[in-house]
Amino acid sequence: MNTTKKRSFFDRLSGNNAGNGALDSFDEELAPALAKREPARPASPVARPMPLEDEPVAGEGQLPVDVHQTPSEIIIRAFVAGVRPDELNLSISRDRVEISGSRMEREQIAEPDYFTRELFWGSFSRMIVLPEEIDVENASASAKDGLLTLILPKIDRARQTKLRVKVG
């Protein structure tokens, strides 16, 4: 009499070796296919996103952003539909950017008259810690079709300048 305990489907799926390791019919069907498989390659390192912000301010919405880089710039994009450019506040330093503003409803609608209410109205902000220092003086911002784009030139640490000594 065979007293081996057959592992449950969950144990097989999760890799739990609670049983004695004996193959069941499900495993026997997969064994030839698994033997033919190429050995697993080590996983390539996955770039982890860096922390981009400080804690959000209570009661404010948080502005979703995309941040990416080129060899010479860091580019930040954010949807600010419904916000006029003069209602946006941008604060830039060498290592961080803060975008804040307010999106106000143009008309007042009674709460019971809504079927769905998903748009955010009110103050929003976003603090983004930059992965590299930027040249604040040459940074630019533009808005078109509700998309805010900030272009932040990176500081070129390898650039060298010859300095002449003045006489007298």
pLDDT recorded at residue 66: 95
The conformational region for residue 3 under phi > 0 = left, psi -120 to 50 = alpha, else beta, is: alpha
For the domain made up of 61-153, the CATH class stated in words is: mainly beta
pLDDT recorded at residue 69: 95
Show Cβ contacts of residue 128 under 8 Å, excluding neighbours closer than 6 positions: 52, 53, 65, 67, 76, 96, 97, 98, 99
pLDDT recorded at residue 31: 55
Pair 145, 118: CB distance under 8 Å: no
Show Cβ contacts of residue 77 under 8 Å, excluding neighbours closer than 6 positions: 65, 66, 147, 148, 149, 150
Show Cβ contacts of residue 23 under 8 Å, excluding neighbours closer than 6 positions: 31
Global pTM reads 0.59
pLDDT at 98 over 90: yes
Pair 74, 132: CB distance under 8 Å: yes
Show Cβ contacts of residue 66 under 8 Å, excluding neighbours closer than 6 positions: 76, 77, 78
Q: Where are the domains of the chain?
A: 1-40, 61-153
| Token pair 């902000």: residue | 125
Q: What φ, ψ does residue 23 adopt, rounded to 5°?
A: -80, 140
The 3-state DSSP class for residue 85 equals helix
pLDDT, tens digit (0-9, with 9 covering 90-100), for 107-165: 888 888 888 888 778 888 899 999 999 999 999 999 999 899 999 999 877 666 677 88
Least confident of 22-31, 96-105, 115-124: 22-31
Least confident of 23-27, 100-104, 125-129: 23-27
pLDDT, tens digit (0-9, with 9 covering 90-100), for 45-92: 444 444 444 555 556 777 889 999 999 999 999 999 888 888 899 999
